A and B are shown apart, each in its own frame.
Chain A
Amino acid sequence: MKPGQESKGAAIDLESISKAYGGFKALDGVSLRIEPGEFMTLLGPSGSGKTTTLNVVAGFTDLTSGKLLVGGRNVVGVPAHKRNIGVVFQHYALFPHMSVGRNVAYPLTLRGVDQAERKARVARALDMVKMGDFAHRYPSELSGGQQQRVALARAIVFDPPLLLMDEPLGALDKKLREWLQLEIKRIHRELGTTFVYVTHDQEEALVLSDRIAVFNRGRIEQVGTGRELYDEPTTLFVGRFIGDSTVLRGEARSDGVSTALRIAGETVTAPRRIAGEASPVMLLRPEKLAIRRPGQDAAGTSNRLPGTIAEAIYLGSGSKYEVRLADGSMAIVRTPLTGDSFGLGDKVELCFDGADAKLLADDSSADATLT
């Protein structure tokens, strides 16, 4: 569903939230507005602060400074059990001494819901996750995927206006994960609740989210839809974290309207420039690059760089090549099956339109966090 006023979900406002452990800043001035009913994913490598953010919202972690509003109410200092927020954990966290039914009924019992209604709501929640037949089983008798679905039912049974999920599919295998992603999407649509989802898997983030907040080193690098992050990354980190990319680095010259990079004797140009002092790099998506045999006609592309095929991967729908450039760096190219095919060691030329190159400020720390 589209985020809107009629949504049952709560809005969340994070206002310059910081969390320090001793000298280490786990969160460094994070600000984010999540709309009611929105599916927001916090994406980033491990240690980037996404889980800390989730814990702060859930009330498991106190923040050092900043403001946190859930549904317009300031919740700083409110203990976790009074926040009325559903949480789904990566490790399921089902109570092993209770049956599935009692696990799901637990939050209702705490809220003093009478037995008849409790039964109906437990049944409804279990049906929603397609676990209706398992109420009498114990968690130890269920598979990982089943346990996580029960955990999801337990987190939504008390109708929280906000559901937090901390890498809920992280422990499951790929097939199951993909199927459960669609299930989660469906449940989000049916409930209309605000979902905040933490993951380090960018594909998962693209499948699920209305918007994605990319975390790095305790800060948010960029917030936007999947398409925005892929097509218009504002930082090198985001560009490299979302999707495949090729980064061209070289001696830069800028003349006010365009930027030229000199890479191992060749020059490539893009009709743009970046503000500030930082040295610019070019980021190219694999489908914006083409490869040709040397000397072949290259109409429509202004830039060419010589290279050697270092890896050729057949993908079914196309081919993916890794090309080693003259300066030793690697470029990733995806081509449709219709074109030429190349073998290992072939000398090629890498061509691209300067307008397709994203000019971004160089950030060597991106290498450190990504590898």
Chain B
Amino acid sequence: MSALEPTTPSVAKRGWVSRPFALTLPALILLAAVIGYPLLTIMVRSLSEPQWGVQNYLWFFGAPVNLTVLQRTFVISAWVTVVCVVCAYPYAYLMTAVGPRVRLVLVLCVLIPFWVSGVVRTLSWVILLQDSGVINSLLRAAGFDGIRLIRTQTGVVIGMAQVLLPFMILPLYSVMKGIDLRLMRAAQSLGARPSRAFFTVYLPLSLPGVYAGAIIVFILALGFYITPALLGGPRSTMLSTLVQTQVLSLLQWGRGGAMGVVLLVTTFVLLALAAPVMRSRYREAGRR
């Protein structure tokens, strides 16, 4: 077997495979031009407009209104993440436990909304949550009058969580699918009640999936723009909307850029913090 290991296969010695790096070059060049250069531009502008210095960052962190929005962005994202974890965990678990037919239905239920245009889905939420919408009609019929959902944080969280739920379910499912259910049998043979077996064996083994999904959902939620813009109101503005207002309406490229950089840095710090957790030692173990 070792003689056939593909580390230095003779076929790869010549021709196009000899320089793997060259193959990645077109993508890298485009990446530099359409991601790298624009992000650099934004950073430079945040420091150079209207003049060189850190005035835009001082302004951002100095204005209570901005800090409120920043805090709200984090709070909404956290709520969305919590809602997603709570809803996705049993759903993903069920996906691993049912037969192939039911699983197909469950997968379709995740994938179809995932693929249907995000704008259309947000539109649906606008229709549902508006004051004359379905949910309010139902609530009124049940005796809860005058509950506002559209242009509130609750409405934003409901809509965002629905849009982001697949990003939680799919990584969770892929981790749960890899958990060897025979370990639960082993735990029971050693004297563990089913609930105890779940909490001591299954849950810890599924945590990498929870982390991965939660990080993805939280990061995507931080940068959400369309859903809060359509479902939210002035009291549920998130950072992205503020950035857009600064740049497009007020033409304050420096200030908008500074906010963007804050959002960007936050995102990458979170990713860097999450990476070691996801690379935990038993990541590959326990799988078949």
A binds B: yes
Interface residues of A (CB under 8 A from B): 58-60, 79-87, 89, 91, 93, 95-97, 106-107, 110-111, 138-140, 154-155, 158
Chain A to chain B: the 10 pairs with minimum beta-carbon distance, closest first: A96-B285, A96-B286, A93-B186, A107-B190, A87-B189, A140-B285, A80-B188, A81-B188, A110-B191, A96-B282
- Chain A residue nearest to B281 (CB atoms) is A138
- The distance in angstroms between the C-alpha atoms of A79 and B193, with both chains bound, is 9
For the complex, give the distance between the alpha carbons of A87 and B282 in Å: 23
15 contacts between A and B (CB under 8 A): A80-B189, A81-B187, A81-B190, A85-B189, A86-B189, A91-B182, A93-B180, A96-B285, A110-B190, A111-B191, A138-B281, A140-B284, A155-B190, A158-B190, A158-B191
CB proximity to A under 8 Å, residues B147-206: 180, 182-183, 185-194, 196-197, 200-201, 204-205
Q: Which residues of B contact A93 (CB under 8 A)?
A: 180, 182-183, 185-186
Known: A89-B182, A95-B183, A97-B205. A81 touches B189 (CB 8 A): yes
| Size range of the chain B interface in the assembly | 20 to 34
Chain B residues in 8 Å Cβ range of A140 = 281-282, 284-285
How far apart are B212's CB and chain A's nearest CB, in angstroms? 16
Point out the residue from B180, B193, B201, B282 that lies within 8 Å of A81, measured CB to CB: B193
State A86–B182 Cα separation when bound (angstroms).
Answer: 15
**Does A110 contact B189, Cβ atoms closer than 8 Å?**
no
Most B C-beta atoms less than 10 A away, residue of A59, A83, A89, A95: A95
Q: Interface digits, B211-247 against A, CB 8 Å rule (1 contact, 0 not)?
A: 0000000000000000000000000000000000000
- Measured between beta carbons, the chain B residues less than 8 angstroms from A138 are 281-282, 285
The answer for the CA separation of A155 and B189 in the assembled complex, in Å, is 8
Q: How far is the CA of A84 from the CA of B182 in the complex (A)?
A: 18
Cβ of A106 and Cβ of B190 under 8 Å apart?
yes
Q: Check if A89 sits within 8 Å of B285, measured CB to CB.
A: no
The docked-state distance in angstroms from the alpha carbon of A107 to that of B191 is: 6
Q: Whole-angstrom distance from the CB of A316 to the nearest CB of chain B?
A: 29
From A87, A91, A93, name the one whose CB has the most chain B CB atoms within 10 angstroms: A93
What is the distance, in angstroms, from A69's C-beta to the closest C-beta of chain B?
19
Kindly report which residue of chain A lies nearest to residue B287, judged by CB atoms: A96
Residues of B within 8 A of A110 (CB): 190-192, 196
* Set of chain A residues within 8 Å of B196, measured between Cβ atoms: 81, 110
Q: CA separation between A155 and B187, bound complex, in Å? A: 10
Q: Which residues of A contact B183 (CB under 8 A)?
A: 93, 95
- Beyond A85-B189, A97-B286, 16 additional pairs, beta carbon < 8 A: A60-B185, A60-B189, A80-B185, A81-B189, A81-B193, A86-B189, A89-B182, A89-B186, A93-B180, A96-B286, A97-B204, A97-B282, A107-B191, A138-B281, A138-B285, A140-B284
Distance between A105 CB and nearest chain B CB, rounded to angstroms: 10
B183 nearest CB across to chain A (Å): 5
Contacts of B281 in A (CB 8 A): 138, 140
Q: Which residue of A lies closest to B179 (CB)?
A: A96
Shortest CB-to-CB span from A241 to chain B, Å, is 28
Q: Count how many pairs of residues, one from A and one from B, have CB atoms less than 8 Å apart in the complex.
A: 78
Q: A91: which B residues are within 8 A, CB to CB? A: 180, 182
**Distance A95 CA – B187 CA, assembled complex (angstroms):** 9
**Contacts of B187 on A, CB cut-off 8 Å?**
81, 95, 106
Q: How far is the CA of A69 from the CA of B185 in the complex (A)?
A: 21
- From A59, A79, A82, A97, residue with most partner B Cβ within 10 Å: A97
Chain B, Cβ-Cβ closest to A82 = B191
Distance to closest chain A CB from B178 (angstroms): 11
Tell me the smallest distance from the CB of A104 to a CB of chain B, in Å.
10
Alpha-carbon gap, A140 to B284, bound state (A): 9
User: How far does the alpha carbon of A155 sit from the alpha carbon of B190 in the complex, in Å?
Assistant: 7
Q: Tell me, rounded to whole Å, the shortest Cβ–Cβ distance linking B176 to chain A.
A: 14
CB distance from B207 to the nearest CB of A (A): 9
| A contact residues around B282 at 8 Å (CB) | 96-97, 138, 140
Q: How far, in angstroms, from A24 to B241 measured CA to CA in the complex?
A: 64
Tell me the nearest residue of chain A to B185, going by C-beta: A60
Residue of A80, A106, A139 touching B200 (CB-CB under 8 A): A106
Known: A96-B286, A97-B282, A140-B285. A154 touches B190 (CB 8 A): yes
Query: Chain B contacts of A59 at CB under 8 A?
Result: 188-189
Tell me the nearest residue of chain B to A106, going by C-beta.
Answer: B190
Residues of A within 8 A of B197 (CB): 81
Q: Could you mark each residue 77-108 of chain B with 1 if its beta carbon is under 8 Å from any beta carbon of chain A, else 0?
A: 00000000000000000000000000000000
- Chain B neighbourhood of A86, CB < 8 A: 189-190
Q: Which among A58, A106, A158 has the highest number of chain B CB atoms within 10 Å?
A: A106
Give the CA-CA distance A106 to B197 in the complex, in Å.
10
Nearest Cβ distance between residue A194 and chain B, in whole angstroms?
15
* CB < 8 Å neighbour of B192 from A81, A84, A85, A155: A81
- Smallest beta-carbon distance A86→chain B, Å: 7
Q: How far apart sit A83 and B183, CA to CA, in the bound complex (Å)?
A: 17
Q: Which one of A58, A59, A80, A84 has the greatest number of beta carbons of chain B within 10 Å?
A: A80
The winner among B188, B189, B201, B284 for most chain A CB atoms within 10 A is B189
CA distance A83 to B188 in the complex (A): 9
**C-alpha gap A143/B180 in the complex (Å):** 18
